[in-house]
Amino acid sequence: MENVQPLVPTAKGFRLAYCLATFVAFGGGVAIYALFRNIDDMVLFRYVPKPSFLATPHIQLGTDTPWGYLFVFNLPHGLWCLSGLLVIRAIWLANTKWRAVYGGIFITVASSIEFSQLSENLPGTFDVLDLASYGMAAFSESIVYNKFTKRRVL
């Protein structure tokens, strides 16, 4: 009978898990945006042709309730922010100093893009709930790291 080693989490395994979670979070944001929003007015499609699979009508979801509005308009931004933070965590898993620096830069750039919509320097609509979703993404990512990853990697 072979001596079977117990499954011990490694930094490489956690990096892979963070990368997979990145794709899930990013894909979830894209799916919500593509399926539930009217993307005919997106600025992107003024410069890039819209893919044919996006020509189908979007799924109507009532945004008259707070939860519907948050799901359709703010959750994709939070998921995209989360995916960026997960990539940064995967790269600098054990180096918390550089992770904090690059994570801070990432959040600053994302927030700056949102704030620049106030002065119409960038197309889009400023939404304070997008900023709140960035904060929730950062908070959620740090909770998961501190609760489940930190003790097993460091």
pLDDT at 50: 76
- Tell me, what's the pLDDT at 119? 87
pLDDT digits (tens, 9 = 90+) for 126-150: 899 999 999 999 999 999 888 877 7
Q: Are 107 and 134 in contact (CB under 8 A)?
A: yes
Query: What is the distance between the alpha carbons of residues 104 and 122, in angstroms, rounded to a whole number?
Result: 22
The larger pLDDT score, comparing residue 154 to residue 140, is at 140
Q: What is the total residue count of the chain?
A: 154
The pLDDT of residue 122: 79
CA angle in degrees (0–180, nearest 5) for 83-142-144: 85
Q: Which residues of 123-140 are buried (b: 16+ CB within 10 A; e: fewer)?
A: eeeeeebbbebbebbbee
Phi first, then psi: give them for residue 130, nearest 5 degrees: -65, -40
Per-residue model confidence as pLDDT tens digits over 40-96: 767 667 777 877 777 766 777 777 888 888 998 899 999 999 999 999 999 998 888
pLDDT tens-digit series, residues 6-48: 545 677 888 899 999 999 999 999 888 888 887 776 766 777 7
pLDDT at position 24, please? Answer: 97
Query: Which token pair is 91?
Result: 């790269």
pLDDT at 121 exceeding the cut of 90: no
Q: What is the DSSP string of 133-144?
A: HHHHHHHHHHHH
User: Which pLDDT does position 87 carry in this prediction?
Assistant: 95
